[in-house]
């Protein structure tokens, strides 16, 4: 059984990854299919240097892995369950957003 510290660490790493829109876009792209960095940079319309920094963060968080393919590297989600988790999280957020109960959500930008 996982300890509370381990659970918190895992959620913190996932939250850090999702805190940046570019990293979210990378995860969503890799949810669809593995990709090489050049293709990801083109798809996301960002520089390869910027992509490389975000991929390093995602690797450090344990969410993506680099798979060597000869002289190239392909990136993919570290576990297929991450793709399902992204789908579940997106669906939950959309469902909650449709039923906002915070009266000041739009004005305060809190929800």
The sign of the dihedral angle between the CA atoms of 67, 91, 89, 43 is positive
- Are 39 and 51 a contacting pair, CB within 8 Å? no
Element (H, E) at 10: helix 4-18
Spatial distance between the Cα atoms of 111 and 41, rounded to a whole number of angstroms: 31
CA distance 24 to 40: 13
Residues pairing with 64 in the sheet: 77
pLDDT at 1 over 60: no
Residue 109 has pLDDT above 80, yes or no: no
> What's the pTM value of the predicted model, to 2 decimals?
0.80
pLDDT value, residue 95:
79
Residue located via tokens 């579940």: 88
């Amino acid at each position: 059984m996982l300890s509370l510290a381990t659970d918190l660490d895992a959620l913190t790493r996932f939250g850090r990854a999702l805190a940046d829109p570019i990293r979210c876009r990378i995860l969503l792209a890799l949810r669809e299919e593995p990709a090489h960095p050049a293709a990801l940079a083109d798809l996301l319309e960002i520089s390869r240097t910027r992509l490389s920094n975000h991929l390093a963060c995602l690797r450090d968080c344990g969410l993506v892995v680099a798979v060597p393919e000869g002289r190239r590297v392909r990136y993919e989600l570290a576990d297929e369950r991450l793709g399902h988790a992204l789908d579940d999280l997106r669906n939950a957020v959309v469902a909650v957003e449709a039923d906002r109960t915070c009266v000041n959500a739009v004005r305060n930008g809190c929800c």
